[in-house]
Structure 1
Amino acid sequence: MSDERLRAALSDLPVRRALPGLRAVLDDRGVAVLAAPPGTGKTTLVPLALAGLLPGDGAGDPGGKVVVVEPRRLAARAAARRMAWLLGERVGGRVGVGVRGEHRPGSRVEVVTTGVLLRRLHDEPELADVAAVILDECHERHLDADTATAFLLDVRAALRPELRLVAASATADTAPWAHLLGAADGEPAPVVESEAALHPVEVIWAAPERPPAPPHGMRVDPALLAHVAATVRRALAERDGDVLCFLPGVGEIARVAGLLSDVGVDVLQVHGQAPAAAQDAVLAPGERRRVVLATSVAESSLTVPGVRVVVDSGLAREPRTDHARGLGGLTTVRASRAAAEQRAGRAGREAPGTVYRCWSQAEHERLPARPRPEIELADLTGFALHAACWGDPDAAGLALLDAPPRAAMRAARDTLRAIGAVDGDGRATERGRAFVRVGVHPRLARALVDGAARVGGRAAAQVVALLSEPPPRGAGDDLTALWRTLRRGGPPPDAYAARWRDEARRLENALPADLRSASPDLSNPDDPTGPGYDDAVAGTVVALAFPERVAKARPDGGWLMASGTGAALAEGSALAAARAEWLAVAVADRPAGAASARVRLGVVVDEDVARLAAAPMLAEVEQVAWRDGDVAAHRVERLGAIELAVRPLPDPDPERVRAALLDGLRAEGLDLLTWTPAAVALRERLAFCRRVLGEPWPRVDDEALADHAARWIAESGARRRADLARIDVAAALRALLPWECAARLDELAPERIEVPSGSRIRVDYSGERPVLAVKLQELFGWNAAPRLAGGRVPVVVHLLSPAGRPAAVTADLASFWRDGYRAVRAELRGRYPRHPWPEDPAAAEPTRHANPRRRGR
């Protein structure tokens, strides 16, 4: 029976014609790139062929296992089941599977996830029992897959030159992979192509009548999902065959499934969190017509039989990380054109098909050509730890298609140092190597190992298992409540509960024996059977994983995380009802444009738990700063950005006091100093000289004086705001003058000028040009006002009436006496008869006084 299945597969699957060529290039070079579109058989027939398991092809035992590396657990299980079925066996015979939580090794072929392969490479880099490794779906550019490829190339170069590597891609974009795999030989690796098994696919542009709101974070416009459901109904009415509908995530699949509850066909869901039975049902032919709602896992990793129609929402999920705030997660984006082609191809796998695209052709042309590689987008903490354990902390020597972003690597190394996974030079510590073997994110591995010593191995494993995947829909934001429900065997979906139990068991078994049996060591005095104890246990583990996300309630509402990021609870939050002062935040995101992070999952804790779990962030600092209009000096106990206790600091460091005063001057301005009229006038004179004469006259603008203020503060001994007002600003300004400027200041910019009447009139330097404001009668006989700054700038004369009001403005007195005086005389002498108004002012005597009154009047 098995031979019949294999012969049928060989006759049906196009990849069979590529097998001789693939064997030949592997015999010659040891590396190859296999370009085989979905449905050609690259995932099932190629491993069996390289393992010598196809009937009648003459290939013998290759001398070791063939390892197939898949990016997803679902795809790994499906590939192993399919190959075992072709051989007439169950998984665990000649074909095995190795994924997180399940290990059934095969004697000839083993299908593993990239994470499992990476852990094996750290433990056994030679892969002594492996003859060939097939890196399936390499075009998807998952971070673990890129890392595994780099490590395998190192193994071939240094340890196992006979190890064969095949990069299998579902796209024709093979040149980068050919150059990467062939770099050691100086020429690209050979590319073996398999013809497509696709039939023609008709494209129907099915954009909604009204453009939906663009995706925002994880949110998808409900109107778009309603349109997708309507398009599925349309496809069922217009076309035959099963319908495969692509949606970005589990939540959207559930919502569309609800909208299709009455369509009269089987509605199935396929995603990474689906139970094994549901996955099996999707991958087997159905007895009734089906609608399969799937994430991008069905683009190329899985073949769903019976599909003639694809409905594509046009959305996908990508990782995003806010490295500055330590927040990460998935975000919804428009799918690339390459992804859209992969999805459409599923409709033509077995016969001519149709794809309904829920966007317009014009929009399609604006889509990105291909998805961005995960290494450019994701949190790189796990990657950095793998690189450090591999002996290349900077990843500079790894053969990668794209270099990791520097900022993301810096953030990753900072995190690894904080949890003790690497030393100061970035080299992996024993703790770091132990974290890698656990097989979860380094943060969670740290929480498991350190948490087990505090709360016991089983409890730590159970809480970390909760953190290792998203919670079920409708679980709320209280992690402790979810944990209690799962322990009681409550309502979360069976598949989720089963995965949680399996993962908790795996994590507990991954602990050293002494930690598995460790007794809880918490200072919390609550009854271990009470809810407060559960919160203390869960909160300790969560805070060990994410110490920078410990959060304290703010007096004015909201929360402040130890990282300095604000946080808010969702409306109707179960955590809000507890009115707690402290939270340990397990999951948070920061929606675009939002001022605060949004808490998705957390635990109510108390300050003792916060201090214990985030102890490395505890610090006592002397804080001297300008606050609320004066110098504030305190001794502050902090948990990161959170102030725990504040006490007055009686004798602060004088340097820091001076820095705070200077900050105050910069923040509130130079008006904190006392500006006497003499100081103002001197500053204006100096500004005039600087403007006209330049160097070495000093700058006296606000910015320059703020720079000089540090010396003034130090010399005055100022310690608070009131001391600033006692600084002699005029003396400080004079001290800025070089000796040659000080000696000539009164000559070049005199404070006062003596006029013909004998009066000494103050010069106003506040404008662009100096101004001399003086009564007209005091200037009789003066044909020219003086020029300042060494004759460079004429004084502008404001001629005043006897009452001191402006009568005329001139910079040329001789011209004024000749042309303008008559009009002023005619206007003012009747108003001021006791003052002299001579016919010839240039020859008249100047005076400060009015004429004496005539007697008898």
Structure 2
Amino acid sequence: MLDSPPDLPVLAGLPALTAALHARGVAVVQAPPGTGKTTLVPPAVAAMLARDGGRVVVTQPRRIAARAAARRLAGLLGERVGETVGHTVRGDRAVGPGTRIEFVTTGVLLRRLQRDPELPGVAAVVLDEVHERQLDADLTLAFLVDVRATVRDDLLLVAMSATVEAERTAATIDPGPAPIIDVPGALHPVAQHWAAPPPGVLPVDERGVPPRFLDHVAATVREAVSAETGDVLVFVPGVGEVDGVMRRLSGLPGVDVVALHGRLRPAEQDLALTRGPRRRVVVSTAVAESSLTVPGVRVVVDAGLSREPRTDQVRGLPALVTVRVSRSAAEQRAGRAGREAPGAVYRCWSRAEHTHLDPHPAPEIAVADLTGFCLELAAWGDVDASGLALLDPPPAAALETARDTLVELGALDDAGAITARGRAMAQIPADPRLARALLDGAEAVGAHRAAEVVALLDDDVRAPGGDLVAALRMMRRGGPTARSWSDAVARLESLLPERPRRTELTDDLAVGTVVALAHPGRIARRRPGGTAYLMVSGTGASFRAADPALAGVPWIAIADAERRPGARDATIRSAAPIDEDIALDAASGTWTEADEVVWTNGRIVARRVTRLGAIELSAAPLNDPPPDAVAAAVADGLSREGLDLLPWSDAAVALRRRMAFLHHAVGDPWPDVGDEALLAGIDAWLGPALARVRGSRDLARLDVLGALRRLLPWPEAGRLDELAPERVTLPKGSTARVEYGPTGTEQPLVSVRLQEAFGWTETPRLAGGRVPLLLHLLTPARRPAAVTADLGSFWAGPYRQVRAELRGRYPKHAWPEDPTR
């Protein structure tokens, strides 16, 4: 085939590729979609290995792409798949003794690396579409770099990317860095059409993709069919949207409407990837975005949406969410229309919106749930990924959450090492939670029913009315995706070492049991007096009003839930009923019994509480709670409700203000007695008394004055009356009260009749002379006459005018010319 190759742009880069592999053993091929890299690079690598032998393994991100690539290359060789070219994907293997090139999904290669890192019989690995940055792809790349560095320095490695991040990939697979073979694209021109939806029609709302937006997509497809020639490829985010658009296009004259997505059986996928006798509209998920060629396509209609993994790390609710497509993905989708001839793209958004799209999709390692990723790391022997060449490091918080989850599932021990159970889970090609549910569920509900439910959960099947049991019965009756589901059931059941007999549980409880085993944190009990639920994890959850099937069931196991920003509860999208016994068995690791002492509604409540995670199962009064727990509860109540709960006598308030003044004016060793400081050090001054409190009456009897005195510094406390006196002595022997401010920053003041200050030559000073008193001087009728903190200056100046005024108003009082005598 290489002697008379198809005319594809990548052909010009093959000599540089083989030279790089001969010299370095590694290379990065950067080439846009449609340049032929998937078709010609694997044969080129196989040809240079012809003398030494060994198989070339080529990875693809999806099963449908691996099968399609193998079929295309085998067709160019004039052979059937399974001869020189074969494929291995989950549930489908076509490989013979003479197979030189094998297309696999990254997940299949990951399993092989875990079983035997030396990859016996494999001479080269070609990683295709590494720019998609799926978790399996990043991990496979890192493992292969590790293998080359430790046990297989002869293993050839080629990474192929369709984006400009080739430099990062090259530096990751080889510090050299690896040579980059850059192949320019040769796409035909693609005309752009902007088809924004009508006002008020949003592409995504709280329930997903609204029907009105699918109406708009279908209308845009009809417009494209009438205005353009050639087949039309339509991009929508998921299988549900594929079905919705196809229903809306039924009856389109002269056109066959076909689906393309990963849940279809291989024969149905092949139909979409083969030219038909009539014009076609192929409605596809992202599987056709970059790694597949759909022949005959001249027009692309892009809904502008993508389904990507996201995880709420705090609440542990991983899910696929619908988001706006990135600009790079939109360009790749548009390029589908220009592979074979000039074409057109109809984008279901505006030109202005396009400028606000993210430049690239986020790598899965940054946003996805990392539980499966962490299990793979543990099986490899590097649970924190510190020794692996990853394109991006995993977020520390997400990795920690994943490790905790695996410990709860029994896959890791407390030190983070993989257990025998964990190795068994790692052999099941599913999320570790589902692997646990399959293994334990087989014992609880029977192997076949466990496999049925796990296949439902793994395929993210939408449950009618939120009822997963109804979804199971629907699958058993048959339907568009029932065949692929039944294949998955058989495959999962075959992985079980033994086939436990079917139990007597009803389907309702059997489904709930498996879901509970998969997601023990999502076991939920209905809140008293309402329809909302509380999960074991502590998250609230509610069914949509339109989903009444399970509303009101006391216990449920939630298979799928989504918590949107700003929402109080998560929205339950699918669940199954369980009973309390099932809940206790499935989430036994979260069962606790503890004494709780809390301050609530003005009193101490002491109980012995049994919980399943955040769900309170039972409680009994605790008659003699520990004193330290009581003190801590009252302290917590004071921190929440404030120190005003305490019985502050006038004497206690006065002492606190004097101490605050000295802390501000003098500093150490006089303590801070502000609210925050008193609450932070409550044990030091109030602690001994708190243990005797049982309610607001006991609190009202606390001796706050005595408690404050515990904070007085000794021996400096003996100077308290000297530095911050309660009263000052006036020149004629009487005394006046000193008023201190609440924060200690205010200047202390004394209010006296002007005549009582006669005889003072200077203002009295406090805090060892640091702070002068603020004197409020009053008339004989105790009305304000003057305010001063500098009495000497007042006597020498303003006093004369004040004296003149007061002599006229109060002639019977003495107003000496020299008030200091």
TM-score computed with the length of structure 1 as normaliser: 0.88
Query: Partner of 1:434: helix, strand, or coil?
Result: helix
Separation (CA, whole Å) in 2 of partners of 1:603 and 1:482: 10
Are the equivalent residues in 1 in contact too, given 2:533–2:542 (CA < 8 A)? Answer: yes
Q: How many angstroms does 1:740 deviate by?
A: 4.3
Q: Deviations over 1:152-202 (max 9, x none)?
A: 22223322333222222234542222223333xxx2323334453422222
Matched, 1:289 2:279: yes
Separation (CA, whole Å) in 2 of partners of 1:180 and 1:64: 25
Q: How many angstroms does 1:66 deviate by?
A: 2.3
For 2:497, the equivalent position in structure 1 comes to 512
Matched, 1:498 2:483: yes
For 1:851, the equivalent position in structure 2 comes to none
Separation (CA, whole Å) in 2 of partners of 1:263 and 1:484: 32
Describe how 1:530-569 pairs up with structure 2 within 5 A.
533-557=506-530, 558-569=532-543
For 2:17, the equivalent position in structure 1 comes to 22
Matched, 1:820 2:802: yes
Query: Partner of 1:471: helix, strand, or coil?
Result: coil
For 1:400, the equivalent position in structure 2 comes to 390
Separation (CA, whole Å) in 1 of partners of 2:321 and 2:351: 24
For 1:684, the equivalent position in structure 2 comes to 657
Query: Partner of 1:161: helix, strand, or coil?
Result: coil
Separation (CA, whole Å) in 2 of partners of 1:30 and 1:659: 65
Query: Partner of 2:474: helix, strand, or coil?
Result: helix
For 2:35, the equivalent position in structure 1 comes to 40
Describe how 1:310-389 pairs up with structure 2 within 5 A.
310-389=300-379
Are the equivalent residues in 2 in contact too, given 1:781–1:842 (CA < 8 A)? Answer: no
Name stretches of at least 5 consecutive residues in structure 2 with no aligned partner: none
Q: How many angstroms does 1:324 deviate by?
A: 1.2
Counterpart pick for 1:694 among 667, 670, 683: 667
Matched, 1:11 2:2: no
Distance 1:134 1:794, change over 3 A: closer
Are the equivalent residues in 1 in contact too, given 2:441–2:513 (CA < 8 A)? Answer: yes
Q: How many angstroms does 1:388 deviate by?
A: 1.0
- Code of the residue aligned with 1:671 in structure 2: it is D
Query: Partner of 1:638: helix, strand, or coil?
Result: strand
Counterpart pick for 1:298 among 278, 288, 304: 288
- Code of the residue aligned with 1:341 in structure 2: it is E
Matched, 1:440 2:424: no
Distance 1:497 1:741, change over 3 A: same
Q: How many angstroms does 1:213 deviate by?
A: 4.1
Separation (CA, whole Å) in 2 of partners of 1:780 and 1:382: 87
Q: How many angstroms does 1:779 deviate by?
A: 5.1
- Code of the residue aligned with 2:678 in structure 1: it is L
Counterpart pick for 1:571 among 532, 545, 555: 545
Query: Partner of 1:636: helix, strand, or coil?
Result: strand
Query: Partner of 1:508: helix, strand, or coil?
Result: helix
Q: How many angstroms does 1:603 deviate by?
A: 0.9
Q: How many angstroms does 1:540 deviate by?
A: 1.7
Q: How many angstroms does 1:637 deviate by?
A: 0.5
- Code of the residue aligned with 1:178 in structure 2: it is A
Are the equivalent residues in 2 in contact too, given 1:216–1:332 (CA < 8 A)? Answer: no
Counterpart pick for 2:269 among 275, 279, 282: 279
Query: Partner of 1:79: helix, strand, or coil?
Result: helix
- Code of the residue aligned with 1:788 in structure 2: it is L
- Code of the residue aligned with 1:566 in structure 2: it is G
Counterpart pick for 2:724 among 749, 755, 760: 749
Matched, 1:720 2:694: yes
Query: Partner of 2:258: helix, strand, or coil?
Result: strand
Are the equivalent residues in 2 in contact too, given 1:783–1:842 (CA < 8 A)? Answer: no
Are the equivalent residues in 2 in contact too, given 1:713–1:724 (CA < 8 A)? Answer: no
For 2:637, the equivalent position in structure 1 comes to 664
For 1:854, the equivalent position in structure 2 comes to none
Separation (CA, whole Å) in 2 of partners of 1:839 and 1:420: 93
Q: How many angstroms does 1:841 deviate by?
A: 7.9
Separation (CA, whole Å) in 2 of partners of 1:203 and 1:501: 42
- Code of the residue aligned with 1:562 in structure 2: it is V
Query: Partner of 1:11: helix, strand, or coil?
Result: coil
Query: Partner of 1:438: helix, strand, or coil?
Result: coil
Counterpart pick for 1:419 among 409, 429, 432: 409
Separation (CA, whole Å) in 2 of partners of 1:678 and 1:824: 36
- Code of the residue aligned with 1:466 in structure 2: it is L
Separation (CA, whole Å) in 1 of partners of 2:375 and 2:618: 36
Distance 1:46 1:692, change over 3 A: closer
- Code of the residue aligned with 2:656 in structure 1: it is R
Q: Which moved more, 1:227-236 or 1:410-419?
A: 227-236
Aligned residues: 808
Query: Partner of 1:404: helix, strand, or coil?
Result: coil
Are the equivalent residues in 1 in contact too, given 2:297–2:337 (CA < 8 A)? Answer: yes
Separation (CA, whole Å) in 1 of partners of 2:663 and 2:83: 91
Distance 1:756 1:195, change over 3 A: closer
Distance 1:840 1:467, change over 3 A: same
Distance 1:462 1:207, change over 3 A: closer
Q: Which moved more, 1:461-470 or 1:15-24?
A: 15-24
- Code of the residue aligned with 2:116 in structure 1: it is E
Q: How many angstroms does 1:787 deviate by?
A: 3.1
Separation (CA, whole Å) in 2 of partners of 1:176 and 1:64: 29
Distance 1:839 1:85, change over 3 A: closer
Distance 1:412 1:781, change over 3 A: closer
Separation (CA, whole Å) in 2 of partners of 1:688 and 1:160: 76
TM-score computed with the length of structure 2 as normaliser: 0.92
Distance 1:666 1:92, change over 3 A: same
For 1:771, the equivalent position in structure 2 comes to 749
- Code of the residue aligned with 1:38 in structure 2: it is P
Structure (1 or 2) with the larger CA radius of gyration = 1
Are the equivalent residues in 1 in contact too, given 2:326–2:359 (CA < 8 A)? Answer: yes
For 1:618, the equivalent position in structure 2 comes to 591
For 2:456, the equivalent position in structure 1 comes to 466
Matched, 1:141 2:133: yes
Q: How many angstroms does 1:417 deviate by?
A: 1.0
Query: Partner of 2:464: helix, strand, or coil?
Result: coil
Name stretches of at least 5 consecutive residues in structure 1 with no aligned partner: 1-5, 53-57, 521-527, 830-835, 846-857
Separation (CA, whole Å) in 2 of partners of 1:595 and 1:713: 38
Q: Deviations over 1:707-726 (max 9, x none)?
A: 34313343335333444333
For 2:218, the equivalent position in structure 1 comes to 229
Separation (CA, whole Å) in 1 of partners of 2:555 and 2:776: 70
Q: Which moved more, 1:257-266 or 1:209-218?
A: 209-218
Separation (CA, whole Å) in 2 of partners of 1:152 and 1:844: 97
For 1:734, the equivalent position in structure 2 comes to 709
Are the equivalent residues in 2 in contact too, given 1:444–1:464 (CA < 8 A)? Answer: yes
For 2:258, the equivalent position in structure 1 comes to 268
For 1:675, the equivalent position in structure 2 comes to 648
Separation (CA, whole Å) in 1 of partners of 2:322 and 2:300: 20
- Code of the residue aligned with 1:161 in structure 2: it is D
Distance 1:296 1:450, change over 3 A: same
Q: Which moved more, 1:274-283 or 1:64-73?
A: 274-283
Distance 1:218 1:390, change over 3 A: farther
Query: Partner of 2:582: helix, strand, or coil?
Result: helix
For 1:168, the equivalent position in structure 2 comes to 160
Query: Partner of 1:85: helix, strand, or coil?
Result: helix
